[in-house]
Amino acid sequence: MVSFEQKDSYNIEDLIEIVGLLRSEGGCPWDKEQTHESIRGDFIEEVYEAIEAIDLKDTALLREELGDVLLQVVFHCQIEREQEHFVFEDICDELCKKLIVRHPHVFGDVKADDTQQVLKNWDNIKKETKGQKTYTDTLESVAKSLPALMRAQKVGKRAMRAGMDFSSSEDAFECIKNETAELEQAISSGNKQEIEEEFGDLLFSCVNTARHLGIDSEQALTDATEKFIRRFAETEKLLRLKGIDMQSLSIEELDEYWRQAKELLLR
């Protein structure tokens, strides 16, 4: 058993101490074995669970999930502390300095009357502090680990700031038509590599069109997936009421029940 004073209420210093004890010689065998790479997926999962709490507007759940996200931050920091690279205070120091530098309209004498000017200043300062000398640098700095739709939307937005963009949503939508035709040709050719490439181009065009329409592609696809699940569930419910197993029907027969389910959900 490790030496630790239990309290009625804890703070960030206690959390840092607890994580350090879990990783110590007398701590938890599992915690001691973890590396940045082994818990990488946990970090991603915790962030998505916090996002779900936001979507659900569940305050109690959000408090819990934000705690889990903070644990991941402290845990990764502890690994670096053990290697004498940096400590939690270094993270706070660097973050505070970054916020001060990137908000000269608050902490300095730069004038910014609206959100657009704030964002423009932020981008310029970010490019300077990160040593981004070209527009390509700004595109390449978008994390490859982001979900593909989110990354595509961000890359398209940064290309727009360099002047490389469609002049209107109509032009962007026209590109979807062109890419669809090219995908059809690729499918006809039977070349899998070409099909995959053209399919990717079509998806990228859809993301650009969504951006022009003020739509978040990631959210739009999430909503579409949820809608599909609701209709699927209603379709299966209709079939179960008649004692029919879905797998016993042809796709044409299933489509008929699908249409019925769609109408029921729209009422």
Res 214: pLDDT: 93
pTM as predicted: 0.70
Res 166: pLDDT: 93
C-alpha to C-alpha distance for 231 and 223, rounded to whole angstroms: 12
pLDDT single digits (tens) 31-79: 999 999 999 999 999 999 999 999 999 999 999 999 999 999 999 999 9
Q: For tokens 């908000």, name the residue.
A: 103
Q: Residue 65 to residues 14, 43, 48, 60: CA-CA distances in angstroms?
A: 18, 11, 9, 9
Average pLDDT, the chain: 93
Q: How confident is the model at residue 18 (pLDDT cuts 50, 70, 90)?
A: very high
| Residue 126 pLDDT greater than 90, yes or no | no
- To the nearest 10 degrees (0 to 180), the angle between helices 40-56 and 59-82 is 160
Q: For tokens 């019925």, name the residue.
A: 260
**Tokens of residue 109, six digits:** 């004498």
Average the pLDDT over 229-252 and give the result: 95
| Residue 162 pLDDT greater than 90, yes or no | no
Q: Residue 111 to residues 98, 102, 103, 104, 217: CA-CA distances in angstroms?
A: 18, 13, 10, 8, 33
pLDDT single digits (tens) 88-115: 999 999 999 999 999 998 998 888 888 8
C-alpha to C-alpha distance for 211 and 47, rounded to whole angstroms: 24
Res 113: pLDDT: 82
In order of their start, the domains of the chain are 12-100 (1.10.287.1080), 104-131 (no CATH), 134-218 (1.10.287.1080), 219-266 (no CATH)
Average the pLDDT over 75-86 and give the result: 97
Res 48: pLDDT: 92
Res 167: pLDDT: 92
Report phi then psi at 10, rounded to 5: -120, 160
pLDDT single digits (tens) 130-158: 888 888 998 998 999 888 999 999 999 99
Res 4: pLDDT: 83
Sign of CA pseudo-dihedral 140, 143, 146, 150: negative
Instruction: Say if CB 179 and CB 205 are below 8 A apart.
Output: yes
| Residue 225 pLDDT greater than 80, yes or no | yes
C-alpha to C-alpha distance for 90 and 75, rounded to whole angstroms: 14
